[in-house]
Amino acid sequence: MTSDDVVEKSTVVHSTTEREFELLVGIALDLNLTLVSKERYQRLVSAVPSVLPADAVTLLRLEGDELQPLAATGLRDEALGHVFSLADHPRLERVCSSTEPIQFPVDSNLPDPFDGLIEGVEDFTTCVHACLGLPLRVKGELVGVLALDAINPHAFENTRPSFLKALGALAAATLHTSYLADTLEDAANHQRQIAQTLVGDMLKRRAHGLNGTSSSISMLKEEISLFAGSNFPVLISGETGTGKEIVAGMLHRQSALSHKPMVYVNCAALPESVVESELFGHEAGSFTGAHERRLGKFQVADGGCLFLDEIGELPLAVQPKLLRVLQSGEIQRVGSDATNSVNVRVFAATNRNLHHEVEAGRFRSDLLHRLDVCRLTVPPLRERPEDILVLAGQFCDRARRQLGLGAIRLHPEAQQILRSFDWPGNVRELENVISRAALRASRRSPNNTLVLITAQDVGADYLATYQGKKDAAKDIEGGAVFGLGAACDMPLRDAVDLFQRELIQDALQRNDGVWASAARDLGMHRSNLHHLAKRLGLLT
């Protein structure tokens, strides 16, 4: 810095005038008022011209190597849209490197960053002639700049260095105080959104353990304990209703992040138009209806875990952004050019075969490889029939609490029906059946007395399916179906499947292929007939 370019106002000390004192007191008093940052900044820059003959006053915050305008008076509206890089604006760079207010001489050959931006000056070739810069420091650290500009080249010749130092100190305090307040407000909003998300999720879902005594469930529990101790993402696969969400909850509870939130996102329930905003957030005004800035689920879950349920439904256009988060931990809110870092452990679940989805072009292979570090497969209920009554007992207790009933028990015939069913809807379907059955059975029992669930309470569809299997087994045992030789040549389960397949085909033939009519003939609900037909290979 040469004496030709800069004049430091630090040699003459004058007493503060009454107008200067009133300005300083007003700024100090504003620090104690409950104001939003934008209003606080604007009050500051608007008050300065009442004491100093400035045509424009600009408050700028330092962000890395750039100065971002926060508020201005006397500048064209477009000025607040500019970002002033220190490398491109040597005057601002010199102000930032100084510890004292700087007044640039009229003949300085350094371009003024606000040339052509002074309001009311129609001649865009007119240059700013008087330029005064105040570095704003808090405990020696630069936080921003207060820039004063005037067309009159002699506007700031009689400014008092002591006043400028005091003005700079209060402006720095204003900037720092507002930054701290904004940071605290953002943190409070973050915690509030976490609380709202978690409370909403707890109302919709209750975290239960993975019940069962089968070997497949025991192995799954061992894998959950193993994977939970790592920081890797986990991909949970399984049919609808098998309990993938329960597995995610167990992973979270057994992990080192159990004291942090686990945020839930159902990718299948998100319209494609809002999925990016829901995951990564958006800025105010970034699209119609975006009235304020909103944190996405990744930022809400920052420091904890995020459970992406039904990730196979995620639109292809959003998948690169998810891949970026998994690779670098960076997100970008809709409508923002800035990136934010997050530290989130991801659990994902799907009932689809994602390798088939990759082959079909509906899922990115690189995203699958990133997610599929640890794979957990939840077995369907039909593959662990020994767990059916264990789960039924759990659901009986849950229904008892929800309905305010006495103890709920299962009649032996009801138990046989439950054990014999294939449960295409898995654990979720079993829970629904028990809940309905308990409600039906409660009509026969006064309050706080034993509630006995019978075969009829389980439901006509399930009873009819059980009776059909029972009759088929008798016919096969007696050689009435397929002939005695055929019955002896195949396992009982295969023979029952063959018998059911022929019954369904006959019913469809009688009803001209109408599934609803065939279901009525067979005494079944149409959805249960479809599930059974799929298992038997009659439907794809």
pLDDT tens for residues 453-463?
999 999 988 88
Q: Please say whether the beta carbons of 175 and 144 come within 8 A.
A: yes
pLDDT at 424: 92
Q: In the predicted model, is pLDDT for residue 26 greater than 80?
A: no
155-173 average pLDDT score: 84
487 confidence band (pLDDT: 50, 70, 90):
very low
517-528 average pLDDT score: 77
pLDDT at 477: 52
Q: In the predicted model, is pLDDT for residue 521 greater than 90?
A: no
* Residues 46-92: tens digit of each pLDDT: 888 888 888 899 999 998 889 989 889 888 888 888 889 999 999 99
d(CA 443, CA 454): 12
pLDDT at 125: 56
Q: Is 259 left (phi over 0), alpha (psi -120 to 50) or beta?
A: alpha
Q: In the predicted model, is pLDDT for residue 9 greater than 50?
A: no
Percent of the chain with pLDDT over 90: 38
* Residues 347-386: tens digit of each pLDDT: 999 999 999 999 999 999 999 999 999 999 999 999 999 9
Domains assigned to the chain: 7-182 (3.30.450.40), 205-379 (3.40.50.300), 382-458 (1.10.8.60), 462-535 (no CATH)
Q: In the predicted model, is pLDDT for residue 490 greater than 70?
A: no
- pTM, full prediction: 0.56
Tokens representing residue 117 in the block: 């931006």
Q: In the predicted model, is pLDDT for residue 7 greater than 60?
A: no
Q: With b meaning 16 or more CB within 10 Å and e meaning fewer, what string describes 418-441?
A: bebbbbbbbbebbbebbbebbebb
Tokens representing residue 258 in the block: 């159990």
529 confidence band (pLDDT: 50, 70, 90):
confident
Q: Please say whether the beta carbons of 390 and 211 come within 8 A.
A: yes
482 confidence band (pLDDT: 50, 70, 90):
very low
**Cα–Cα distance list, 482 to 49, 478, 479, 491, 499 (Å):** 103, 11, 7, 13, 9
